[in-house]
Structure 1
Amino acid sequence: MKLSFFFYITFCFQLLAFHSFSQDNITLSEENSSLKSIIHKIEEQTSYNFILNNDVIDVDQIYSIKVIEKDVTETMALLFENSSISYNIKKNHIILSKSNIQADNYTINGTVTDANTGETLLGASISIKDSKQGVFTNEYGFYAITLPKGTYLFEISYLGYTTKEVSIELKNNIKLKIELQPSLSELSEIVITSNQHAKSQVQSILGGTIRLTASEIKKLPAFFGEPDIARAVLTQPGISSVGEGTSGFNARGGNIDQNLILLDEAPLYNTSHLFGLFSIFNADAVKVVKLYKGGIPARFGGRASSVLEIQQINGNSKRFKGEGGLGLLFSRFTIEGPIKKDKVSFLASGRRSYFDLFFPLINDIPADKFHFYDLNTKLTWNINKNNTLYASGFFAADVIKIDQEEEGGEGGSDVGIDLGWTNATATVRWNHIFSSKLFANITGIYSKYKFNIGIREDFNEEEDFVTTLERSIENWIFKPDFTYFSSPDMQMRFGLSGNLYQFIPKLRGTEINEVYDKEKALELGAYYSVEKQWDRLSLDAGLRFSWFANYGEDTIAIYNPDFPQTPSTITGFRNVKNNEISKSYFGVEPRMSLKYDFNDRKAFKIGYNRMFQYIHLITSQTIALPNDVWKPSGQYIEPLEVNQFSAGYAYDTKDKGYNFSLEGYYKTFDNIVEYKNGARLGINNNLETELVPAKGFSYGLELAAYKNKGRVTGNANYTYSVTKRKTKSAFSSEQINNGAYFSSDYDRPHLFNLTANYKLSKKWEVGAFFTYQTGRPTTQPNGRFTFNGESYLTYADRNSFRIPDTHRADISFTYTPTGNPKTNWKSSWSFGLYNVYGHKNAFSINSVLEDNELETGQISLIGAPIPFISYNFKF
C-alpha cells in the first residue's frame, strides 16, 4: 500500500513537472549564430536540457532564428526547418540526432545582382565548374541549388559581366547574395567579346525565345534617333508587321491582338505613340525584354501567339545615377538612386515630344496640339533577406488637337477635332522566400487603356459644343506565383491568376452623357509546370486551366437559326441581370518542350503549345487604329484556340563566337473573328451581325545566325512563312471568297533582316540595318458597273493581290568622347539616316474612279531619307 502510494505521488510530481516544462516560452533573435550558442540560450530560458553526440552533430553550424514567446515545440520546428538535424522531446530533454532523410543534402540560395547598382540579374548562370549541374536565376534574380555535403567551386556568369568563381564548403543550408562586376569593353583594344551564352539557343529548353537587353536595343539605327523596343523586336525571325509606321507586330501568323505584352507584369493594349511611328517603351527604363513565340510557359495565358515580357529596372540601390537624351523632336530623362542605401531605391523616367513647337512655323499644318509623353516609375524596398516589395507605375498619352476654320461669313463656325489615347498601369509585387527551396511572387495589377475622339464646334466665338466618343478597357489582376527548386536538375512552378475585365464605351456631349453596351468579364487560371533535366535530355512541361465568363447587366439578341445573323433576323431578346453570367467557357492548355543535347554546343528541340484567347480586337482595317474595338467572348463570339507544333536545331561554335539556330513551326487557328464583306464596325450594339467565324493555319521556317566576337558583331535571319484563313459559316452568303482559303492580311512569305555593329575605334562605332519583306496581301478592284447613271467599282476576292515588296536600309554613327576622369559625366552623339536610299515602300494601294476612269496610286508613309541626331548623357 505504501509502495503504491509512493509510485502514485512520484507519477503526479513527474506529470506536474512535465506540464510545467512544456509551458516554458522562448524569445530569441539570432542572426548567423552557432548552434552551440542558440542551445545555450534555450537552456537558460527553459528547464530543458539538450542531449547530442558532438561527433554526429556539428555545434558550430550557423543558424538564424527569430521567435517571440514561442513554446519549445514551435521553436525546434523553426530552428531545424530544412535542416539535416532531427529532434525528439522527452520529458525535460531535447535529443538531437542526424536526420535520415536530409542527412547529406544542403541548399544554397540567394540572388545575383549588379555590384555597382544592386540591380538583380535575370537568367544568370550558377553552375558547378567542370560539371553540367547548375541553375539559372529566375525573372526576379533568385536561385536555389540543392547538393550533397561537400566542397564545390561555383561559376557565376551573365551577359556583359565578369565571370565570378566562388568556393563553398556545403555542410549546412546557406543563403548567399552574389554580386557581379560589369565587364569592360576595352579588354583587348577595340575587340568586343560577349558572354559565351550571348544569343545561344542551346541553353534554353524552350524553342523560339528571344532575349534583348537595353544596350542591344540602343545600338540599332533608330527612327529619329530614338531607341525603340518595338522596332528591335521587328528585327527578329518570325516577327513582321503590315507596314512602316504601324502599331504592333505579328508573330508567326498571328494578329497583333494575339500578343500578350507585359510591362512589369501589367498588360498593355496599345503600345504605340503617333499611330505607330514610335513605341511607348522608354529604353532607358528597361532592364530586359524577353519574347516567347515558340515554347510559351504555362504561367502565361490569355493570348494565343506570343508573349512579350518587359521588365523595368529596379533603381540603383547604391548611388544616384541619371541618363537621358536630347533629340530633334523629343527628349528623355531618367533618374534613379537609393532612398536608403541597399534598402530602398527608386526609378523615375520620362519622355516628351515637342512636335507642336514647330507647327506654328508651318502654315499647312492646322494642329494646335500634337505631342506625346510617357512616365515610368518604380520603388523597390528590400525589407529583409526573405522579403522584397516592388511598386511600379506607367503612364503614356498622345494628345492631338486640330482646329479647322469653316468659311461662311457671319454665322459660320470653327470645327475642331480632339483625339487622344492613354495607357496607365500600376503594379505591386511581393517577393517572399518561404524556405531555402520555395520562392513566391504575389502580384496585384491595375491596367487601363482609353481612347477618345471629340468634335468641337465654336459658333461665332461663343459656346463650344462638344461631342466625344470614349472607349476604355480596364483590368484588375491578382496573381500568386510559386517556384519550388526541388534539386539542381528539377524545379516546379505553380500558381493562380484572376483577371477582371471591364469594357466601357461612352458617348458624352453638351446634352448627353451615356454609357452604352458596357461589358464585364472574368478570366481565371491555374497552372503547374515542371522543368526536369537528365544527362542529355531536358523537359519543360506544363498544364494550364482557364475559365472565362461574360457577365453583367445586358440584353442579348436572339436570332432565327435558319438565317444569317442580321438585324432583320432578330426574333427576340434575352435579358441578363446584373452580375449574372451570360456565357462561360473552359479551356485546357497543355504546354511541352523537349530538348536533346548532342553535346554542350548542339541541341535538338521539339515543342507543343495550346493557347486560348478570350478577348478579340475587332477591326476591318489592315492596320490597327487606336479606336478599334476590343470585344470579349460571349454568346456569339467563341474563344480563339491556337495549337502550335515546333521543332528546331541549335548550334554554337567551339569558342561561342557564333550562334546558329533553325526552327520550323506549324500552327492551327480556330474561331478567328473575321468581318463580313461590307461590314460596318462603328457603334453597334449587335456587333456579331457584322462578323463571321473562321479557321486557319500558319507554317514557317526560321534561320538565324549571331556573331558575338570581334570588331564586327551582329546577326542575320531569314523567315519563310505562309498564313491562310477560311470562313466556316453555315450560310453561303457569309462565306468569304466562296469558302476557299485566302491569305491573311499579314501573310508575308519572305522576310530577311541583317543587323551589324562595327567598332571603328574606342570613340567611334557604326551600326547598320537592312530588311526585306514580301508585300502584304490586299484587295483590289477588278471592274466597274453603272447604276442609275453612277459608276461603282467591283472588287476581286479578298487579299488576292499584293502590294510591291518592301525593303529599307538604316545607318547610324555613335561618337563617344573621352570622359573627364574627375567627374562621372559621360556623353555620346548619335546621328545617321533612316531609309538611307529613300525607297518609297508602299503602305497601301488606293484605287478610285476619276472622270469615269480607274486611277490607282501607291501610298507611302516614308519615302525619303530621314536624318537624325541626338545627344545622350549619363552621370
Structure 2
Amino acid sequence: MLGTHLNKHVGLILGFLFFLNCTITISAQEEQQASIPLISYIQSLENRFNIKFSYLNEDLENLTITIPQQTTTLDTILKIIQEKFQIRIEKLDDRYYTMVKDNTVDLCGHVLDNFAENSIPGSTIEILGTNRALITSDDGKFTIDGVPKDASIRIRYLGYLTKNMSVAEFLSLGDCPNILMSPHLEQLNEVIVYQFLTTGIIKENDASISLNTAEFGILPGQIEPDILQTVQALPGIKSIDETVSDINVRGGTNDQNLVLWNGIKMYQSGHFFGLISAFNPYLTDKVTIYKNGTPSAYGDGVSSVIQMETSNTIAEQWKGGAGFNLISGDFYTEVPISNKLGVQFAGRRSTTDFISTPTYNQFFDRAFQDSEISDQNNNAVDDDIVRDEDFYFYDFSGKILYNINDDHQFRLSAIQINNDLKYVETDLTNNATSTSLLKQSNTSVGGQLQSQWTERFSSLLNVYYSRYNLDAENVFGNQSQLLFQNNQVIENAAKLDTEFKLNDRFNWNNGYQYIETGITNATILNQPLFQSEIKGVIRIHAPYTEINYHSSENKFIARIGSRFNFIENIGTFTKLVVEPRLNLNFKLANYLRAEVLGEFKSQTTNQIIDLEQNFLGVEKRRWILSNDGTLPVTQSKQGSVGINYEKNNFYIGVEGFYKSVDGISTRTQGFQNSNQFSGEIGSYEVQGVEFLINKKGNNYSTWLSYAYNKNDYTFDSIVPQTFPNNLDIRHTLTFASTYTFKNLKLGIGINYRTGKPYTQPLDGNEGLDTDFSPARINYKEPNSSRLPEYIRADASAVYSFPLGRRVKANAGLSLLNMTNRRNTLNRYYRVNENDEIETVDNVSLGITPNFSFRIDF
C-alpha cells in the first residue's frame, strides 16, 4: 500500500512539472509574438543583419508589428513588411535600404451587369477629387495606377445606377474584382413626336414643327437645307411669289411672321430680293415653327413664329465645313478653346458680281425681267430695254459660348446681312437711262444667360439690339430727277423667362419682356422738291405666365397661359392687349391623338407695300409702326382642332382651323387696283383644313399634302365689303417622294395650287377714265378674277462620299421647275403714255439648275 501511495504522489509531481513546463513554453511564445513598434523592430534588423534603413519617422511611427516566426531570411521579412504596411522598400547596395510609405495603390477590375453578368464596355471610372478618369475596354475591364488610398471611386454607365465606393472598400473585394452594376429602371412617359417627310423634320407634342439641320435628309428641288425654303414643305406654309422673304402662313402676309435668330427679332430674312434665305443653315442647329398654340413667351407675329437657334453646346473638337453652289460660297466652323469656352463662326458671299451662271441668270430674270406686257388688245408689247446690274450679297454670323460653371452659361451672338445693287436700265426707244442704287442690311447682337438656380428653378435672360436699314437712290431717265428713300428700324429688347417645377406633373413659367422699336421713313425728291421724314417709337411692357401639365404616360398634356402687352406709342396712344394661349394634346386610342389649340396675338410693326416705283419696283416693302389711326395695332384670334395617327412609319394628320385678323390696312396687303393707296382699315378671316399622309420606309419616304383655305377680306368702306383676300389660295396640293440608295439621296415632287385672285378693269371703253390726268383705270369688283393654276415639278440628288478619315464631302444637283412651265404669279394693269391699258404679268422662275459641292470635317 505504501508503494501505491508513493506512486500516486510521484505521478502528481510529474504531472505538475509537465504543466509548469508547458505554461513556461506558452508564456515564452506569447512574449515572443507580442506586438512591438515597427521602428524598434527595424532597428533590431539593422543589428541582426548589419544593414541600415533610411526612412521618415512620421511614415513609420504609430505602426506596430508582431514579430514573425520562422523568418530566417531578410528578404522574407522585408516582403512581409511591404505587404502589411504598403511600404515601398528599395535596396540601394549591399548594406543600405530606403523605406517610403506608399500613399497610392494600383487598381484593376471588371464592370458587369448584375442581372446577366454581361460585361459593360464604355463605363466611366472616375477618381473623385482628381481629374483622372477612364472608360472600360470592350470587355468591360480597366486598370488604373497610382490611385490615392484615401480617394473615392465613381463608376457610371447610362441606364445603370451610379456606384460610389472608397479605395479601401474596393480593395476589400480582392484582386481585380468584378464590379456589379444595377440597371436603372424608370418608367418613361410615352414619347409623342411624329417624324415625317424627311429625316430631321419632327412634329412635337405641342403641335410645333422642329427642323434639325444636322439630320436633314433631302426635299425635292433642294440640295442644301435652306431654312426658309424647307418650312414651305409643311402644310399651310407657302410663298405665293416663290420667295423666302414673303412666306404666307395660313393666309397671312410675311410681316405677320415673327422671325427669330438666337432670340433676336430679324427684320430682313432674304438675299437676292427674297429668292435665297439669309441664314446660314450649317451653323443653325434647330428651327421651330409655331402656326398656332404659341407659348406665351412669344409676342408679335399674328400668323406664325419661326425660331432659329445655332448650337448651344461647346464642340468637343474642332469641326467645320465649306462649300459652294452656282450663286454663292460659304464656310462655317466651331472651335472649342477650352472645356468652358467655345466659338462658332459662319460666312457666305455671292459670286454674282463676277461669275454669271445659269442659276444666276434665272434668278435675275425672276427679280428684274419677270414681266410679260400686253396691250388692251392682248398683243405683246416689245419692251425694248437693256439692263445692266452689279449685284452681290454677303452674310456672316458668330457666337461665343462661355460656361461660367455647371449652373450658369453665357452666350453672345451676332449676325450681319447685306445686299448691294447697282442697276442701270436703258430705254433704247426713248434713249433714256435710269440708274438705281440699293443697299439693304440687318445688324443684330444679342446675349443670353441661362441659369439653373436649384433643381426646380431656372431662368433665361435674353437681351438684344437689332438694326435694319434700307437705302434706295433712283436717278431717272432725264438724269436730273433724283429720288432718295430710307427705311430704318432700331429695336432694343430684354426678356427674363423663368421656369419652376412645381412637381413631376406641373411646370410654371413666368416672364417679362420689354421691347422698344423705333422706325424712320424718309423720302427726298429734288424735282419737284419734296421732303418727308416720319419717325415713331413704340415701347411694350409684356409680363406673361403659363402652366404646363402632363399626366401619367403623357395621356394628357396641357399648356395654358396668357400674355399682357402694355403698348405705348410715344405721344400717340397707349393700349393694353391681353393674349390668352391654349395648347392641349390628349390620347384618343392607341396610335391616335388629338390636339386643341388656340391663341390671341397682336403686333405693332407692319410692312406697307407700294407696288409701282418704290425701291426699284423690286423690294417694295417698308416697315412702319402702328399709330392707332391710319394703322391700328393688328390683332388676331385663332383656334384649331387636329388629329394625328402614326403606326409602323405610316402617318396621317388632319387639322381644321379658323383665324381672324383685325386692324389691317390696304397699304399692307399689296393691292394693285383702285384701293392700293386708299389706306382703308379692315380685317380678314381664314377657314381651312390641312391634311398630310406620309409613308416612310428604311430608305424611302412618300407623302401627299393638301390644304384648303377660304380667305376673305372685310372692309366697311369698300364695295362689296367682303371679297377674296389677295392670298386666297383655295387649294394647294403637293405630292413628293424621296429615296436613299447607299450614299445617294434622290427627291422628286410636284406642287399644284389654284390661282390667286386679281382685279380686272371694266370691259371696253369703261375701263379707262380719261377725265383725269393721267388717265385712271376703272376696275371691276376687287379680286373677282383668278389667275391660272400654278404647277411646278422639282427634282434633286445629293451624293455623299469620304475624302479622308475625318473629311466628308457631298455633291448635289437640283432642277427647279423642271418642265419649264411659265406660271403667272401676279397680274396687274397700268396706263401707258398713249393712254392705253397694259396688262403686266409677273411670271415664275423658268427651269433653274443648281449644283453644289461641300466638305465637312
TM-score by length of 2: 0.68
Which residue of the partner structure matches residue 176 of structure 1? none
| Counterparts of 1:365 and 1:492, CA distance in 2 | 63
Deviations 1:342-363 (A, max 9, x none): 2111111111111121369999
Which residue of the partner structure matches residue 632 of structure 1? 625
CA drift at 1:471: 0.8
Of residues 795, 813, 816, the one that matches 1:811 is: 795
| Counterparts of 1:397 and 1:287, CA distance in 2 | 22
Deviations 1:455-500 (A, max 9, x none): 359999xxx9976321111110000111112222211111000000
Structure 1 residues 243 and 335, CA gap change in structure 2 (3 angstroms):
same
Which residue of the partner structure matches residue 97 of structure 2? none
TM-score by length of 1: 0.67
Of residues 506, 516, 522, the one that matches 1:506 is: 522
Of residues 760, 763, 782, the one that matches 1:798 is: 782
Deviations 1:796-848 (A, max 9, x none): 1111111111121111111223443xx31111110131111111111223446
CA drift at 1:320: 1.1
Of residues 351, 355, 370, the one that matches 2:352 is: 355
In structure 2, what residue type is equivalent to 1:531?
A: N
| Higher radius of gyration, 1 or 2 | 2
Structure 1 residues 483 and 254, CA gap change in structure 2 (3 angstroms):
same
Q: Which secondary structure does the structure 2 equivalent of 1:237 belong to?
A: coil
Deviations 1:172-203 (A, max 9, x none): xxxxxxxxxxxxxxxxxxxxxx9975349998
Contact 1:676 1:692 in 2 (8 A): no
Of residues 862, 866, 872, the one that matches 2:845 is: 862
Contact 1:491 1:532 in 2 (8 A): yes
Q: Which secondary structure does the structure 1 equivalent of 2:255 belong to?
A: helix
| Residue 782 (structure 1) aligned with residue 762 (structure 2) | yes
Q: Which secondary structure does the structure 2 equivalent of 1:724 belong to?
A: strand
Which residue of the partner structure matches residue 756 of structure 1? 737
| Counterparts of 1:843 and 1:833, CA distance in 2 | 19
| Counterparts of 2:745 and 2:432, CA distance in 1 | 55
Contact 1:677 1:736 in 2 (8 A): no
| Counterparts of 1:203 and 1:631, CA distance in 2 | 34
Structure 1 residues 420 and 771, CA gap change in structure 2 (3 angstroms):
same
CA drift at 1:620: 5.0
Contact 2:611 2:620 in 1 (8 A): no
Q: Which secondary structure does the structure 1 equivalent of 2:233 belong to?
A: coil
Deviations 1:195-219 (A, max 9, x none): 9753499984433x21112146562
Which residue of the partner structure matches residue 401 of structure 1? 422
How do 1:490-529 residues align onto structure 2 when only pairs under 5 Å count? 490-507=506-523, 516-529=533-546
| Counterparts of 1:589 and 1:676, CA distance in 2 | 23
How do 1:300-379 residues align onto structure 2 when only pairs under 5 Å count? 300-314=298-312, 316-340=314-338, 342-358=339-355, 366-379=387-400
Which residue of the partner structure matches residue 19 of structure 1? none
In structure 1, what residue type is equivalent to 2:757?
A: P
- RMSD after superposition: 3.8
| Counterparts of 2:318 and 2:502, CA distance in 1 | 39
Structure 1 residues 510 and 719, CA gap change in structure 2 (3 angstroms):
closer
Contact 2:611 2:672 in 1 (8 A): no
Which residue of the partner structure matches residue 218 of structure 2? 219
| Counterparts of 1:715 and 1:316, CA distance in 2 | 37
| Counterparts of 2:295 and 2:418, CA distance in 1 | 32
| Counterparts of 1:700 and 1:405, CA distance in 2 | 47
| Counterparts of 1:261 and 1:360, CA distance in 2 | 31
Structure 1 residues 203 and 169, CA gap change in structure 2 (3 angstroms):
farther
In structure 1, what residue type is equivalent to 2:509?
A: R
Structure 1 residues 196 and 451, CA gap change in structure 2 (3 angstroms):
closer
In structure 2, what residue type is equivalent to 1:815?
A: Y
Unaligned ranges ≥5, structure 2 = 1-123, 125-155, 165-190, 365-384
How do 1:617-628 residues align onto structure 2 when only pairs under 5 Å count? 617-621=607-611, 626-628=619-621
In structure 1, what residue type is equivalent to 2:267?
A: Y
Which residue of the partner structure matches residue 286 of structure 2? 288
| Counterparts of 2:695 and 2:668, CA distance in 1 | 47
How do 1:159-178 residues align onto structure 2 when only pairs under 5 Å count? 165-167=159-161
Q: Which secondary structure does the structure 1 equivalent of 2:627 belong to?
A: coil
Of residues 428, 439, 442, the one that matches 1:420 is: 439
| Counterparts of 1:483 and 1:799, CA distance in 2 | 48
Q: Which secondary structure does the structure 1 equivalent of 2:324 belong to?
A: strand
Structure 1 residues 458 and 747, CA gap change in structure 2 (3 angstroms):
closer
Unaligned ranges ≥5, structure 1 = 1-114, 116-153, 156-163, 171-193, 552-580, 682-686, 729-734
| Counterparts of 1:787 and 1:413, CA distance in 2 | 27
Contact 1:816 1:828 in 2 (8 A): yes
Of residues 701, 704, 711, the one that matches 2:692 is: 704
Contact 1:236 1:753 in 2 (8 A): no
Of residues 703, 719, 723, the one that matches 2:707 is: 719
Which residue of the partner structure matches residue 664 of structure 1? 656
| Residue 745 (structure 1) aligned with residue 726 (structure 2) | yes
In structure 2, what residue type is equivalent to 1:606?
A: V
Which residue of the partner structure matches residue 806 of structure 2? 824
Aligned length: 637
Which residue of the partner structure matches residue 98 of structure 2? none
Deviations 1:732-765 (A, max 9, x none): xxx22332x11111110111223422012x2222
Q: Which secondary structure does the structure 2 equivalent of 1:281 belong to?
A: coil
Identity of aligned residues (%): 22
| Counterparts of 2:681 and 2:478, CA distance in 1 | 47
Contact 2:386 2:425 in 1 (8 A): no
| Counterparts of 1:195 and 1:833, CA distance in 2 | 36
Which residue of the partner structure matches residue 3 of structure 1? none
In structure 1, what residue type is equivalent to 2:583?
A: S
Contact 2:388 2:423 in 1 (8 A): yes
Structure 1 residues 486 and 195, CA gap change in structure 2 (3 angstroms):
closer
| Counterparts of 1:422 and 1:625, CA distance in 2 | 16
Which residue of the partner structure matches residue 745 of structure 2? 765
Of residues 250, 253, 266, the one that matches 2:251 is: 253
| Counterparts of 2:727 and 2:678, CA distance in 1 | 21
Which residue of the partner structure matches residue 89 of structure 2? none
Of residues 487, 490, 493, the one that matches 2:503 is: 487
CA drift at 1:857: 6.0
Of residues 661, 666, 670, the one that matches 1:674 is: 666
Q: Which secondary structure does the structure 2 equivalent of 1:671 belong to?
A: strand
Deviations 1:391-440 (A, max 9, x none): 0111111110124579999xx99753111211111110001111111111
Which residue of the partner structure matches residue 460 of structure 2? 441
| Residue 602 (structure 1) aligned with residue 571 (structure 2) | no
| Counterparts of 1:313 and 1:677, CA distance in 2 | 36
| Residue 210 (structure 1) aligned with residue 209 (structure 2) | yes
| Residue 475 (structure 1) aligned with residue 455 (structure 2) | no
